[in-house]
Each structure stands twice: as structure tokens, then as C-alpha cells.
Amino acid sequence: MTRLSENRVSLAAPSTVLAATPWICSGQLTASAVISDGPCRFGAILVEIDDTGQDSVITAYDSPTTDTTGDEVLGIFTANLVAKQDSKLYVFPLPGVECALGLYVTVSGDCKVYVYYK
């Protein structure tokens, strides 16, 4: 028996089935958050800057909790943008990055982050 994800599609499903599953948006994040506490696919991240400091750093981990000790870093995203005028979209090739444990995102700096996953 296979382990099923929340949307009832197994991670071992054919890529055509995974591609047909819609992406879920985390909603607006301004602080670190657990996006998924179980296996998922990480598809994209959108960053909007709120201040002129341009010091925002977002780190994504393959982790189901806020404890990232020994967890894999999926990506570090920085945005050198003009406040309230620009945004930066980082997109991974389909079918996305596999998160075997979960998805946790840390946010530092004054920004708004939207994470897309399935």
C-alpha cells in the first residue's frame, strides 16, 4: 500500500497525474512558517519587498517542523528589489522539488512571501 498525500495523490504517481494537480498558495507570509507538515512538491515562491533596505532572505527547508537541524536546504532566495514596485518570482521546473518530509520557510527582512506547493 502506498502512502497518500493530503490531496490523495501518491508521490509515486505518474508525472501526468502530478502535473494535473493544482498548485496551492500558502497565502501571504511575513514571518517564518511551516507550509506543509508532510510530503509535498515545492513549485514556486513569490517575494514582494515592503521596505527600501533590500535585505530580505527567504530559506526553504525539507522539514515538517521549525527545527531544521540536519534538514536539507531546498533554496535560499534573496530579492534585490525596489520597495512596493517590484516582485520576484522563483519557479522550479515541473513537477517541482520533492519535499520528502515537509516544507518549512524562514523569512527575514520586510517582505511578503507566497509559496506555491502541491
Is 11 inside a domain boundary? no
pLDDT per residue as tens digits for the range 81-96: 666 667 788 888 888 8
Is 64 inside a domain boundary? yes
pLDDT per residue as tens digits for the range 34-87: 999 999 999 999 988 876 656 788 899 999 989 888 889 998 888 776 666 677
* pLDDT at position 20 over 90: no
State mean pLDDT over 3-10.
Answer: 50
Map residue 44 onto helix, strand or coil.
Answer: strand
Domain that holds residue 44: 30-117
Per the structure, the count of domains in the chain is: 1
Predicted local distance difference test score (pLDDT) of residue 79: 73
Is 9 inside a domain boundary? no
What is the rounded CA–CA span in Å between residue 37 and residue 102? 5
Q: Which CATH number characterizes residue 60's domain?
A: 2.60.120
Cβ neighbours for 85, distance < 8 A, ≥ 6 positions apart: none
pTM: 0.77
Predicted local distance difference test score (pLDDT) of residue 1: 38
